[in-house]
Amino acid sequence: MTQQLAYIHSDAKIAPNVEIEPFAMIHADVEIGEGTWIGSHAVINAGARIGKNCRIFSGAVISSTPQDLKYNNEYTLTIIGDNTTVREYATISRGTEEHWKTVVGSGCLIMAYAHVAHDCRVGNNCIIGNNVQMAGHVHVDDWAIVSAMSAVHQFVKIGAHSFVSGASLVRKDVPPFTKAAREPISYAGINSVGLRRRGYSNEKIVDIQNIYRYIYMRGLNNAEALQKIELELPPSNERDEVVNFIRNSERGIMKSPFQTYGTGDPEAQA
């Protein structure tokens, strides 16, 4: 059902049971899937592809023109998966010719006033907190949480199941399964609470902790740590995910806490 007081362009493709509140604006070249709700004063711009059962709250702006001086009006998209919520006044820019699209996965929560810039890729089941500001080309993998007021530098990668604490300045990549905190941002232990909530056993969490002891607690550089991990620890999906993430990091991963806080176990400090 759509409201007569909303502006809906005749070329927009709206599933029959989408609900659009008064004063929302739906422009041309927009597709909205079944069961989605669009709140009043939300603006859905050209290039938006919104999945099923999403909730777009008042004042949110989806698929706005990128805030990138290199953008030259090329045809790009913003793709949002199913069952994702975008809260009040959040903004999601469409892509540029670098990747041609900005993607937010399924089951995500983008909280109020957050900004997801051009060419970002947010995985499934992620939470982006209130007023998080993500620059262009940021990658956030599945089940990651970026807490409120954090700023994420362009091209940063945030690994799966990781947790970034509130008001963080994220200038380096955050490896999977970890907690990131402090200034400058550094390793604060394993995201054990999040992992338990998602069904990881205590034994698997200990295995992940052992992987990161090589990286952050033995005084090894990354190349040495990865070599020892592959030689000394048994193969597992988690081991390979950590190794591949670090090996492919272009900005470098967040630092060890010992560079700032001296000796001690970050699992206890976090």
Q: Is the pLDDT of residue 265 over 70?
A: no
Q: Known catalytic residue: 119?
A: yes
Q: Is the pLDDT of residue 35 over 60?
A: yes
How confident is the model at residue 49, as a pLDDT? Answer: 98
Supply the mean pLDDT for the chain.
Answer: 94
Q: Categorize the per-residue pLDDT at 270 as very low, low, confident or very high, splitting at 50, 70 and 90.
A: very low
Q: Residues with Cβ < 8 Å from 195, sequence gap 6 or more?
A: 161, 177, 204, 205, 208
Side-by-side strand order, sheet with 25-26: 7-8, 25-26, 43-44, 61-64, 91-93, 115-116, 133-134, 151-152, 169-170
Q: Is the pLDDT of residue 76 over 90?
A: yes
Q: Is the pLDDT of residue 231 over 90?
A: yes
What's the whole-number mean pLDDT along residues 58-78? 96
* Catalytic position from the list 33, 136, 159, 189: 136
- Residue-wise pLDDT for 136-148, tens only, equals 999 999 999 999 9
Q: Categorize the per-residue pLDDT at 261 as very low, low, confident or very high, splitting at 50, 70 and 90.
A: very low
Q: How much of the chain exceeds pLDDT 70, in percent?
A: 94
CB burial string 8-31: b at 16+ within 10 A, e below: beeebebeeebebbeebbbbebbb
**pTM here?**
0.93
Tell me the residue length of the chain: 270
CA dist 111 and 65 (Å) reads 20
Q: Categorize the per-residue pLDDT at 4 as very low, low, confident or very high, splitting at 50, 70 and 90.
A: confident
Q: Known catalytic residue: 159?
A: no
* Catalytic position from the list 82, 119, 142, 173: 119
Q: Is the pLDDT of residue 257 over 90?
A: no
* Catalytic position from the list 27, 115, 118, 139: 118
**Which helix or strand (DSSP H or E) is residue 212 part of?**
helix 202-216
Q: Known catalytic residue: 265?
A: no
How confident is the model at residue 2, as a pLDDT? Answer: 63
Residue 31: DSSP 8-state: E
Q: Categorize the per-residue pLDDT at 258 as very low, low, confident or very high, splitting at 50, 70 and 90.
A: confident
The partner residues of 223 in beta bridges, in order of sequence, read: none
Whose tokens are 């000796």? That residue is 263
CA dist 121 and 150 (Å) reads 17
